[in-house]
Structure 1
Amino acid sequence: MKHKIKTSLLALSLIASSVVAADARFKDVQITANKLSDSAYMFVGSGGNIGVSAGSDGILIIDNQFAPLADKITKSLNQIQSGTPKYVINTHYHGDHTGGNAHFGEQAIIFAHDNVLTRLSANKDLSKSALPVVTYSTDISIHFNNDTLVIQHLGPGHTDGDSVVFWQDDNIVHMGDLFFKDRFPYVDLKGGGSVIGYRDNVAKILTLIDNDTQIIPGHGALANKDDLRKFKHMLDHSINWMKKNIQEGQSLADIQAKGINDKWKSWSWNFISEEKWIDTLYQGLKK
């Protein structure tokens, strides 16, 4: 009995320590709002950028960063408009975009691609409120705040459940993690992602927007079509470069030693370094 008590106390202590660590990690994070139109905003904090529609129909948010930031996100939303979100859209399943699901899902309806529900449901630690309620296989539209938000799934790219959200009238698009502005992207190969699919999805989006479109990237500052075009050029060069090295019989170690073209080295960052990007390209293209 004493052993069981000690074990339980140790478990509680570890849980408490992890909560304190999470709070400490995010205590200085500030959620800042960038107004894009009369009813649309981009929120920046820690994790994926958040899209917001706020108006006469209520509040809708696209992604919600990490769980410990839910209260800060709510406070920032209330500075724009009182009330809680009616709808949440998940652009994919990663925790830096869906961490607030459990909090916001208590009162909001969560929309996501079918595969997001499948992947989140596999995490037995998540509450029911964290799971999408409405799922889709391709496209779905939400008519909200005098605009139509069109949610599209273009096939495997960053993951196998990516969604891109277009404001039809306001000419805004939230790309989720199909766009890392001026950075090497994360292609989650274990999560159904595809290097070629990622590039092709970016190419598709370029055909659907114009020079006035405001682009909310998954990570990075507000962008435009030129920024996205530059991103695709990096993807094209990286893919063609890696294919050539693989065809020549180069090993991953050899390719890592050479490194990528100097033009793109500055796109390396703390999460996806040049080394990790090269490894992703190799693993994703060698088959």
Structure 2
Amino acid sequence: MKTSIKVIFTLFIISTSSLFAFQDMQDVTIEIIPVNDNVYMLKGAGGNIGVLTGDDGVFMIDDQFAQLTEKIKTAIGTISDQPIRFLVNTHHHGDHTGGNANFKKDDALIMAHENVRKRLSLKDTDVKNDGLPIITFNDKMNLHINNNDIVIAHVHNAHTDGDALIYFPQSNVLNTGDTFFNGMFPYIDLESGGSVDGDIKAAETGISLINENTKIIPGHGAIANRSDYKAYLNMLKTIRENVQKAMEEGATEDEIVNNEKLTSEFFTDKEASEFYINGPKIRGTFYNSLKK
């Protein structure tokens, strides 16, 4: 699992440069994982995809990389004969929005937080703005599709400044985007408006929406439950307390980055060495976020 996580995030980093055009995606397989009722999770290369099927058309959450669009469409075609009509981006990162332009050409209605559109509009890779969301929201949006009263809620300055939680109440499934990394340290993108306190608040918000029977599609990692989500929240809060205390005691950034004890309750540096965000990286992220 650790190796696959590292590969996923290597692809994410590569996707921000022109080198990604030369990467071979032919070996990537799109795996369909049933979640609850007519909700599925798709795994490939990049962030997890959520899919809600029904007579209203396919409702999709995120779309990985452009090179995988045809494989994703083929996979979805095995669980629904309806077109992909609705697409929500949980945030702007390329491993979640890379296929936007392709799905937009197929007449998918793309939705996202306003900051997602702003950040995507700045990308040199989409000079024609082909993949920009055409419907944006600020705090919350409700949709009524495929027998679900879908709740889309913005969580402020969490993984980025444009994150959204998507909850299917009738199917009892929550999609968290990258505000929840299941089974690993999180990636909090400080340069894109993310923050430790915002990521904690996002997890608290998500937990408040669900119950013990809810299935959770995280941004990365396996399907989770409420207990997994609460464990993740506990990790965030504990590391925050540990790093904050060390800072108050006068520890420098280098001392915090190199102090494995601040995070080893959850993953040792050896265990996290194959994560995209390893021990030193997560401690540095918490330091720099709390310093602000």
Q: Which residue identity lines up with residue 247 of structure 2 in the other structure?
A: I
Deviations for 1:98-156, whole angstroms, at most 9, x for unmatched residues? Answer: 01101001111100000000000111321333000000001111111111111000211
Measured in 1, the distance between the counterparts of 2:210 and 2:239 equals: 24
Aligned to 1:262: 264
The Cα shift of 1:261 comes to 3.7
The one-letter code sitting in structure 2 at the alignment partner of 1:51 is G
3-state SS of 2:231 partner: helix
Closer, same or farther: CA 249–123 of 1 in aligned 2, 3 Å: same
Q: 1:18 to 1:238 in 2, by over 3 A?
A: closer
Q: Does 1:67 align with 2:66?
A: yes
- Inter-partner Cα distance in structure 2 for 1:57 and 1:166: 17
Asked if 2 retains the 8 angstrom alpha-carbon contact of 1:138 and 1:153, the reply is: yes
- Greater helix percent: which structure? 1
Q: Larger relative contact order (C-alpha < 8 A, sep ≥ 6)?
A: 2
Does the CA-based 8 Å contact 1:74-1:84 persist in structure 2? no
**1:111 maps to 2:111:** yes
Aligned to 1:152: 153
**Residue deviations 1:44-80 (CA, integer Å, cap 9, x gap):** 1111110101111111100001111111101101111
In 1, are the aligned partners of 2:257 and 2:281 still within 8 Å (CA)? no
Any residues of structure 2 matched to 1:1-287 within 5 Å, and which?
Answer: 19=21, 21-22=22-23, 24=24, 26-106=25-105, 107-126=107-126, 127-259=128-260, 260-266=262-268, 268=272, 269-287=274-292
Residue 18 of structure 1: how far off its partner (Å) = 5.2
Alpha-carbon displacement from aligned partner over 1:176-219 (angstroms, at most 9, x marks no partner): 00100011111111101111111111112212211000000000
Moved more, 217-226 or 191-200: 191-200
Tell me how far 1:238 sits from its aligned partner.
0.5
Contact 2:64 2:99 in 1 (8 A): yes
Coordinate RMSD, CA, aligned: 1.4
| Contact persistence 2:150–2:168 (CA under 8 A) | yes
Structure 1, gaps ≥5 residues long: 1-14
Contact 1:212/1:224 (8 A) holds in 2: yes
Structure label with greater radius of gyration: 1
1:248/1:52 Cα in 2 relative to 1: closer, same or farther (>3 Å)? same
Q: CA deviation at 1:221?
A: 0.3
Paired residues of 1:66 and 1:97 also in contact (CA < 8 A): yes
Q: 1:78-106 CA distances to partner (integer Å, 9 max, x unpaired)?
A: 11112431010000000000011010011
